[in-house]
Chains A and B, each alone.
Chain A
Amino acid sequence: DVKVTQSSRYLVKRTGEKVFLECVQDMDHENMFWYRQDPGLGLRLIYFSYDVKMKEKGDIPEGYSVSREKKERFSLILESASTNQTSMYLCASSPVGEQFFGPGTRLTVL
């Protein structure tokens, strides 16, 4: 079975802190994605990566950055967390087509 793991299920941070969300997949997939999920808005793509050190902006990249130093690991970075970044963050990996999701990290910024 494909396994996508995320470093934390729940996270509480203060405004202005730097926040790292980690995602690891074990299926050697080329593509990895970070989404945020908010009620009534579905999933919105923040960034994706199609190879090591390669990344592209999604629909809502402002306030976020990413890092992919190894094929299996894709990190989402909030340089200076703000309250409007309180959300559920979902990581996914994909060969082509179907995406496999991690359990999500619910981030609260106070």
Chain B
Amino acid sequence: AQSVTQLDSQVPVFEEAPVELRCNYSSSVSVYLFWYVQYPNQGLQLLLKYLSGSTLVESINGFEAEFNKSQTSFHLRKPSVHISDTAEYFCAVSRGGTSYGKLTFGQGTILTVHP
């Protein structure tokens, strides 16, 4: 079975500061990894994903995450945050291969960006 742990439930930062949201997973098989973002009163949107290949993946709005197999981590980073990045972020893992796309989610991290 897989599990995902997001190490911080809330992360407050000032605008233009760097941020890191931490995610660790446990799995005995190869995995796919995802970060989703949820803005207030909305559903989840995919931010970025790691399926294979380069271990550093990037989103269109400046976030990046690095798959670290030895540390079983997939931390999300952004060098300079904006007020509009305020949202809840979820890390998720899917077992590679035929798993019907089932995802296991972490508990979520609420990022609050202050002016």
Contact = CB atoms under 8 A, between A and B. Distances in A.
B44 interface: yes
B3 to A, nearest CB: 11
Interface residues of A, number: 27
Interface string B48-80: 010100000000000000000000000000000
Interface residues of B, number: 24
A35 B102 CA distance: 11
A45 B102 contact: yes
B45 to A, nearest CB: 7
Interface in A1-33: 4, 30-31, 33
Nearest to B36: A101
Contacts of B98: 96
A42 B105 CA distance: 6
Interface of A: 4, 30-31, 33, 35, 40-45, 48, 50, 56, 90, 92, 94-104
Interface of B: 6, 9, 32, 34, 36, 42-46, 49, 51, 90, 94, 98, 100-108
